Chains A and B, each alone.
Chain A
Amino acid sequence: MSTLRDSAEALALPLLALAGGLALFGAFVWFDGHDPLQAWALLFRGAFGDAFSLQNTLQRAAPLMLTALAVALPARVGLTVIGGEGALVLGGLACAALPVLLPGLIPGGTAGATLLLLAAGVAGAAWIALAGALRQFRGVNETISSLLLGYIAIALFKHIVEGPLRDPASLNKPSTLPLPESLRIGTIGAYDVHWGLVFGVVACLLAAFWLSATTHGLATRVVGGNLRAARLVGLPADRLVITACALGGAAAGLAGGIEVAAVHQSANASLIVGLGYTGILVSFVARHHPLAIIPVAILFGGFLAAGSLLQRRMGLPDASVQVLMGFCFVFILASEAWRGRLGTLFAVRRAPVTLPAGGAAGAA
């Protein structure tokens, strides 16, 4: 019974929090002199209203699934890593740079594209694993180090894209050389959604399988649950922490590689649009559960897709989606405070329990 109630609550709390975020957003635009009903309607129409919006939504959800994993996997070993943006841009850079650095060595077609994505994943993995290693071996707080590494990664990205690897033909918008046609990632069948979506979904499924059905995943969760206990039973805690970080980083790096190979065709500033930061929110809403990341990423991908509609139809600033996300984030955190108590809020009141003398039952 209690597990059923727990899972009902695990679903109800984030939904209530999202509803709260949307409600507050409505109040906010209303104060600003806009119609909240229209804003809500446009948010959902722009996200899921027709085939075009839906494809746009899924297109944007794909990288969010991967950058959310960059937060969720380290979170399962107890680390708050928020440097997904850095891993993403380095992944994109690695993907765009490989054909330039190894001219003639990258085969065309699927094999070559796989190599590029592999490079992207390795670049991202190294970056986040570094934050994990600094935490385990030097005691450096991983939240701060991953953020700093993120800024350093973006500086490296800009330096390389506007310097050594700049395509001389890219005048107004410094970019690397565009990827050859044969190495690009195409769309799925006749739909206007690229294969990155499949990568995102499969990565989330694999992560869920790894965490819940493999011994290594179980060990990882033990480390996250109680580091001391994990060390006492002889688990290699350092290695598990760094592995979880590396896998998360690989996901974010892959997101960057896919954005380059499927959307932008070269590495340039269009890659740095905060997908890593939105991934943090997605992971928190999904409570760091890989399976829950899939629908949450689609929801927030939808809000991002609807942003331009809000801008065009209602004249709202482009930051309105960010405001909505900020409200949702605050509500999601606040909702944690009601975990375990939501049931009692709606439950039929039972007969009062007589306390033994001393009132120790209050400890429950």
Chain B
Amino acid sequence: MDGGAFFDVLLAVLGGAIRVGTPFLFVSLGECLTEKAGRINLGLEGVLVFSAMAGFAGSFLGGHWWLGVLLAGASGALIAALHGLVASLPRVNDIAAGIAIMLLGTGLAFYLGKPLIQPQAEQIPSLALGAWSDSPQVSAALSINALFPLGVLLALVLAWGLKNTAWGLTVRMVGDSAEAARALGTSVAAVRIAATTAGGFIAGLGGASLSLYYPGSWNEGLSSGQGLIAVALVIFARWHPVRCLWAALIFGGAGALGPALQSVGISGYYYLFNAMPYALTLAILVATCSPRKNLAGAPMELGVSR
């Protein structure tokens, strides 16, 4: 690999960090909000796939990309609300409910999305941040998903809101001590269902970026487990929305490495490079978890901090 190729790979990874990282960003923000209220939603994988399908359908049938984005968010909220409701039943574990919603959400998406595999839909527009450059690679790398700035804003708003507003305090209280919340007369289940539903809406925007920006079409292999990786990503980000942003970019970059290397002729390890985000997640978990004490920053009610 000479200098030019190295530069190409670097540029592709940087561009890919945003392109591949945008769905990670939304889905991890959604998971972060859910987990702040004390529940893990593994079903975000189902939410992501279903909302990707719904977003594509909205844009294809409605003719406007923003209709697709709205529909993706709304349907993501709907599927996540189901998780919230099921996991609120007595003796139902949130992880098990997540597995069920994962299966149901992807199944429904594949069923309803069958007629959507061929057509083209209006895409989410790109913001050409690289228009100043003459180099086509630079402008390609800096042409970014219009939802990405929204995600950045959302991360900041969530971080601020969780810290400074009354509902942020309520969510964190429910996530840290259900008993304290009950003592204050707050309905734990209602707050958790609301947080899970809102998290589903946010994750749904990630689904829209999958089907309406990159890769930009609907098919059954669209998600490669981003919704599940989000759970680990939130642990990596230590339950902080702004750190979710950095984590999403790192994971996006890692995910872009395989295709970038393939484009410069290094293709022998394609699948292994694609597995990078999973290996990275696992390595981070092994390095940061401890059997003795809770993870720093983890909501106390959360199943992972056992």
Contacts and interface: CB of A to CB of B under 8 A. Distances in A.
Interface string A312-342: 0000111110111111011011101101000
Contact of B101 (A136, A325, A330): A330
A139 B291 contact: yes
A143 B94 CA distance: 12
A148 B286 contact: no
Interface in A42-82: 80, 82
Given A138-B289, A152-B282, A323 B228 contact: no
A336 B103 contact: no
B271 A323 contact: no
Interface secondary structure of A, over-half rule: helix
A30 interface: no
B104 A330 contact: yes
B89 A323 contact: no
B303 interface: yes
A333 B111 contact: no
Contacts of A326: 100-101, 103-108
Contacts of B224: 151
A: interface residue count bin: 35 or more
Contacts of B90: 336-337
Contacts of B105: 326
A155 interface: yes
A156 B272 contact: yes
Contact of A159 (B101, B271, B304): B271
Interface string B226-255: 001101100100000000000000000000
A264 interface: no
A337 to B, nearest CB: 4
Interface secondary structure of B, over-half rule: helix
B: interface residue count bin: 35 or more
Given A136-B291, A159-B269, A147 B228 contact: yes
Contacts of B278: 148, 151-152, 155
B169 interface: no
Given A155-B278, A330-B82, A319 B114 contact: yes
A158 B275 CA distance: 11
Contacts of B269: 159
Given A143-B95, A336-B90, 13 more contacts: A138-B289, A145-B285, A317-B114, A319-B107, A322-B103, A323-B104, A323-B108, A325-B103, A326-B106, A334-B92, A336-B91, A337-B89, A339-B91
17 contacts: A134-B285, A138-B285, A138-B290, A141-B304, A144-B231, A144-B235, A148-B228, A155-B278, A156-B275, A277-B103, A317-B110, A318-B110, A319-B107, A319-B111, A330-B101, A334-B86, A337-B92
Interface of A: 80, 82, 134, 136-141, 143-145, 147-149, 151-152, 155-156, 158-159, 162-163, 277, 280-281, 284, 316-320, 322-327, 329-330, 332-334, 336-337, 339
